[in-house]
Amino acid sequence: MVQNLALIFLLFFASSSLALDSEDIKQDKSVSLATIADSIAMQYQQMGWFSGALLITKDNEVEFASSYGFQNVEEKIKNSIQSRFNLGSIMKDFTKVLILQQVEAGKLKLSDKLVSFELGFKQPDADKITIEHLLNHSAGFADIFVAEYRQNQLAFDTLNKKIKILINNPLLYTPGTDRKYSNYGYVVLGVILEKVTGKPFEELLKNNIFNRVEMSSTTFRPVNSHEYQSVRYTFQYNGNLRKVGIIEHPSPDGGIESTVVDVQRFYRALFYSDKLLKNSDAINRHLFEMDGSHWGAYGGGLGVSAAAEVDLDTGYEIVVLANTDHLVAERISGRIHSYIKNGEYQPIRQLEKNFAFKYYQSKGKQQFYKHFKQVYNDNGYSRFIGRTINEVGMELLKTKSWTEAFDMFEYLVSLFPNAPQAYDSLAFAYLSKGDSEAAKSTFSKSLTIDGSFKSDYVSDNYGHNSTLK
């Protein structure tokens, strides 16, 4: 029971006249795709949630292009089609292309073992990890976002520093027997590329991808002074945007900056030409599912949301890039694609954390504790409630709203008294407020439930690691 809870409880963390609801859209077949797409994007913008750019093409012809919100809120510079946004995990498709180019060149095979590259991996079963396992997230690696990395992401400014984070950690499972999304696996692929080619990863990107498909507005290293460089903002629990800036260095798992036009060029070249890879090659077609009906790539992070949808049946391509977060680009692109395919899309509503905080504000602590779980379900929210409450609490900590934050984490503990993650979050709240003793004492409850549990936020388990030594 406790193990199941622990698995479930992953706490990672224009014009209003255009607004149309899904019922209107289903009934009015004369409404153009451009109007529908603009309406969807505008509704998210009006919430304060979406700031970015949108491009829709069909058979490589522009159907609709528009921008929303601000590239720089403080300086009141509006977004444009030329604005550059972080792509997040869409970067992984670029890394995959670079790997497959080396396969085509005969310098790599998908069956090549990780240990053959002598990078220092010595865990049991590490000798079973192949290039293909790394590509499809089945190598057995955990994700890179462990406490050590989260505490100071900017300190890991090279691939060699990043690879050391998990190089000695046990694998989560025998390679090839399961799948767990791992940014770390793509960091490893980047290191392999540098070793095989003798060239920096950034150079490979520029010469083998950017230059080949004329992605002139794409860069591996953002420059804040660039005319079209967007500033990142996180969409908060109270509906406000907070500037976050750059929080980590780019790497093969995520991080390049690009425009909606350049992203469309990349996927167009990948799926409909031989500019990047041999389009007829069976390996390439399999790994990018080129014989399917749809390809979707998505990226997210603090102040980052990106989505690219390629409909292989209809020839439509949708690219949404944002300098805001919480998967807003994916929500927009998904609804546009649904409308293209089905003539309708899911209703648009506020983000779970915003709904939670508004209910808490309006009803007060006692009513929130008593009724929110039922109200959350009754309003059609399916996202795991523990993750939502934790997210609200963590954001409240950043604004030093101590009373409200502790209300959230104590509610979290009441909902999941057998989940070590709940006490980890409450402990982090105490630490954030400056009470290290209360933090350590609270985290001890996590260890009582699971003696091997590792904090998601503090690398020394609030001092418990040194105590054990």
Instruction: Provide the pLDDT for residue 155.
Output: 66
Q: Distances from the Cα of 351 to the Cαs of 316, 323, 361, 376, in angstroms?
A: 28, 17, 16, 12
Is residue 458 within 8 Å of 147, Cβ to Cβ? Answer: yes
Residues in CB range of 289: below 8 A, 6 or more apart = 295
Report the alpha-carbon distance of residue 159 to residue 164 in Å, rounded.
Answer: 9
Task: Map out the domains of the chain as residue ranges.
Answer: 16-88+220-342
Residue 106 CA, chain-centre distance (Å), reads 32
9 is written with which tokens? 């409880």
- CA dist., res. 71 & res. 51, Å (int): 8
pLDDT of residue 154: 66
Using an 8 Å Cβ cutoff, are 433 and 426 in contact? no
Residue type, 50: F
Q: What are phi and psi of 31, to 5 degrees?
A: -70, 130
Residue 169: count of CB within 10 angstroms of its CB? 13
- What is the number of residues in the chain? 469
Nearest-10 crossing angle of helices 385-398, 420-433: 10
- Residues forming a β-bridge with 257: 86, 219
Rg, the chain, Cα only: 23
Alpha helices in 343-419 (DSSP H): 352-363, 365-378, 385-398, 402-415
Vertex 456 angle, CA 157 and 372, to 5° = 130
Q: How many of the other CB atoms lie within 10 Å of CB of 177?
A: 10
State how far the Cα of 203 lies from the Cα of 56, in Å rounded to an integer.
30
Is beta strand 77-78 parallel, antiparallel or unpaired with respect to 70-72? antiparallel
What pTM value is reported for the model?
0.85
Q: Which residue, 91, 88, 90, 79, is CA-closest to 230? A: 79
Contact, 182 vs 143, CB < 8 A?
yes
Longest dimension (CA), the chain: 71
Predicted local distance difference test score (pLDDT) of residue 17? 28
How many helical (H) and strand (E) elements, i.e. helices and strands, does the chain have? 19, 11
Do residues 134 and 114 lie in contact, with contact meaning Cβ atoms separated by under 8 Å?
Answer: yes
Asked if 84 contacts 219 with a C-beta cutoff of 8 angstroms, the reply is: yes
Q: Which residue has the tokens 């700031």?
A: 51
pLDDT in tens, the chain (469 residues): 333 333 333 333 332 223 333 344 454 556 799 999 999 999 999 999 999 999 999 999 999 999 999 999 999 999 999 999 999 999 999 999 999 999 999 999 999 999 999 988 888 899 999 999 999 999 988 887 666 767 777 667 778 778 787 788 889 999 999 999 998 899 999 999 999 999 999 999 999 999 999 999 999 887 666 889 999 999 999 999 999 877 777 888 888 999 999 999 999 999 999 999 999 999 999 999 999 999 999 999 999 999 999 999 999 999 999 999 999 999 999 999 999 999 999 999 999 999 999 999 999 999 999 999 999 999 999 999 999 999 999 999 999 999 999 999 999 999 999 999 999 999 999 999 999 999 999 999 999 999 999 999 998 999 998 654 4
Phi, psi of 379 (to 5 degrees): -90, 10
Q: Which H or E run includes 319?
A: strand 316-322
pLDDT number for residue 146: 67
Please give the CATH architecture assigned to the domain spanning 16-88+220-342: 3-Layer(aba) Sandwich (3.40)
